[in-house]
């Protein structure tokens, strides 16, 4: 079974559907072309060829104390607030759709009345997630191990496709690499000619040039092997979300071994100019990531001001024994490089946590999957309000059969991807919890899979 679809089959809500990450583009610095060879990955390890480690930088960190100590559907969203200073006006929603066989698209204005028009275009890969970053519109073609750069003037038309596998790469049996041998999970634009790609199946981040096509678009990598946990013997730290806050770039690492958490989740810190790993703990030996309190981070966003990073950690995979509510939502200081403040626990949320959005510096909404006692196959999906200021849980905004993820648009409204059979579509809510849509925005024959807010 393909890596991404093992996760899809386990959890009905989404932790990784990607939205907007509209960061200002710093000056582009030289990157060593590392000659990346992305081999077909097996669960027994990864052959890592031709990787150039771009270096380790020690961040000047404020000494902030920690107060609180304690897999998902493939279509998910990074909050629009990953970018504190948008460089372009984001006025439309691009929704990808999928029934796990065929992928499609919907496009429409985000306001004042949200609407969608279903496109007749078909995606090259049914596992396709849209991302807007730095005014570049991407689609992650996960099963194909490609990044598609879309034409913003003719959405969803593809302008070019970038292969994340090296030309001539082969799988372990000597044939072509298998699907999901790279498995791109997120992308963040740093400049018009440089972007970072989270590669779930590999122990490194990809560096691409969005202006190039084919194999020429993959221009380098950032080695994550210094951050690999000793017990993570499958060879990949499972990089998922990428956000930018303050002076650094942050990449969440699930630290799974064959889909089971082997240690707490962590966050790689990267200097966006040099692309060097930043040491988050100078007192420990070697380069250190930010240590999270919980396991298996499945969603990571920034608060509207960009002052904090908020991470949802789902712990053990839903529907897998033991069905314990061991996850949490917690805040990370992007300057002090450590967890701070209160956590919201899954025991209070009433289920496994998935994707989330932040409405302000403390209040947010999360997707929660609630399991029925004694029946791992029965569940409901909910959108639940929470408050990080005091660790409390508030109102339930929506209860339905299956939610693909949620994302906050530039106007502050929240888009919910409802994948429930018979009522699938997109629902839009004001921050006060009232619905902007009287019925779901139809997405055609396929349910919604991902959403990004685009120019």
Structural element, H or E, at residue 7: helix 3-10
Mean pLDDT for 53-68 is: 36
Q: What residues pair up with 357 in beta bridges, in sequence order? A: 365
Domain residues of the chain, as ranges? 3-30+53-166+179-454
Q: How many Cβ atoms from other residues are within 10 Å of residue 375's Cβ? A: 8
Do you find a cis peptide bond into 112, omega within 30 degrees of 0? Answer: yes
In this structure, are strands 260-261 and 403-408 parallel, antiparallel, or unpaired?
A: unpaired
Q: What pTM, to 2 d.p., does this model score?
A: 0.83
Cα(46)–Cα(48) distance, integer angstroms = 6
Cα(29)–Cα(123) distance, integer angstroms = 33
Range of weakest confidence among 2-11, 286-295, 339-348, 349-358: 2-11
Cα(436)–Cα(434) distance, integer angstroms = 7
Do the Cβ atoms of 189 and 210 come closer than 8 Å? yes
What pLDDT does 412 receive? 96
CA-nearest of 197, 57, 73 to 447 is 73
pLDDT tens profile 368-414? 998 665 545 556 899 999 999 999 999 999 999 999 999 999 999 99
Do the Cβ atoms of 44 and 286 come closer than 8 Å? no
Mean pLDDT for 58-79 is: 35
Name the CATH superfamily for 3-30+53-166+179-454: YVTN repeat-like/Quinoprotein amine dehydrogenase (2.130.10.10)
Tell me the C-alpha to C-alpha distance, in Å, between residue 325 and each of 256, 382, 396: 18, 15, 18
Cα(364)–Cα(310) distance, integer angstroms = 10
Phi/psi for 9 (5° steps) reads: -70, -20
Mean pLDDT for 65-76 is: 33
pLDDT tens profile 273-329? 999 999 999 999 999 999 999 999 999 999 999 999 999 999 986 555 556 889 999
3 state SS for 230-263: CCCCCCCCCEEEEEEECCEEEEEECCEECCEECC
What are the residue ranges of helices labelled H in 147-238?
none
- pLDDT above 70 covers a percentage of the chain that reads 75
């Amino acid at each position: 079974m393909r890596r991404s679809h093992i996760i899809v089959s386990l959890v009905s809500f989404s932790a990784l559907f990607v939205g907007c990450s509209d960061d200002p583009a710093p000056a582009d610095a030289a990157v060593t072309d590392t000659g990346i060879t992305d081999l077909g990955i097996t669960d027994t390890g990864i052959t890592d060829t031709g990787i150039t480690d771009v270096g380790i930088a020690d961040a000047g960190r404020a000494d902030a104390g920690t107060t609180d100590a304690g897999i998902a559907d493939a279509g998910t969203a990074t909050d629009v607030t990953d970018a504190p200073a948008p460089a372009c006006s984001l006025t439309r929603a691009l929704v990808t759709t999928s029934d796990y066989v065929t992928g499609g698209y919907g496009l429409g204005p985000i306001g004042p009345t949200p609407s969608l028009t279903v496109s007749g275009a078909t995606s090259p890969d049914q596992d396709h997630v849209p991302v807007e970053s730095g005014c570049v519109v991407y689609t992650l073609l996960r099963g194909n191990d490609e990044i598609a750069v879309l034409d913003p003037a003719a959405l969803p038309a593809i302008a070019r496709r970038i292969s994340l596998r090296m030309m001539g790469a082969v799988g372990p049996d000597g044939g072509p690499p298998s699907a999901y041998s790279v498995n791109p999970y997120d992308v963040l634009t740093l400049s018009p000619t440089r972007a970072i790609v989270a590669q779930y199946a590999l122990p490194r981040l990809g560096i691409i040039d969005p202006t190039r096509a084919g194999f020429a678009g993959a221009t380098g990598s950032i080695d994550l092997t210094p951050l690999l946990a000793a017990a993570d013997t499958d060879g990949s730290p499972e990089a998922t979300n990428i956000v930018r806050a303050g002076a650094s770039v942050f990449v969440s690492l699930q630290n799974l071994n064959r889909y089971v958490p082997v240690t707490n989740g962590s966050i790689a810190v990267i200097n966006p100019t040099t692309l060097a790993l930043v040491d988050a703990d100078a007192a420990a030996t070697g380069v250190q990531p930010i240590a999270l309190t919980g396991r298996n981070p499945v969603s990571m966003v920034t608060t509207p001001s960009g002052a904090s990073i908020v991470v949802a950690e789902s712990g053990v995979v839903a529907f897998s024994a033991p069905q314990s509510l061991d996850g949490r939502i917690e805040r990370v200081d992007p300057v002090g490089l450590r967890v701070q403040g209160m956590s919201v626990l899954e025991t209070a949320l009433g289920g496994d946590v998935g994707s989330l959005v932040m409405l302000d510096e403390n209040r947010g909404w999360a997707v929660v999957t609630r399991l029925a006692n004694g029946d791992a196959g029965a569940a409901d999906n909910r959108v639940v309000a929470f408050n990080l200021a005091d660790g409390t849980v508030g109102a339930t905004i929506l209860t339905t059969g299956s939610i693909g993820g949620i994302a906050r648009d530039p106007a502050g409204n929240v888009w919910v991807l409802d994948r429930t059979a018979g009522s699938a579509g997109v629902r839009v809510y004001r921050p006060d919890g009232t619905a902007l849509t009287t019925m779901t925005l139809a997405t055609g024959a396929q349910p919604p899979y991902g959403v990004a807010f685009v120019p």
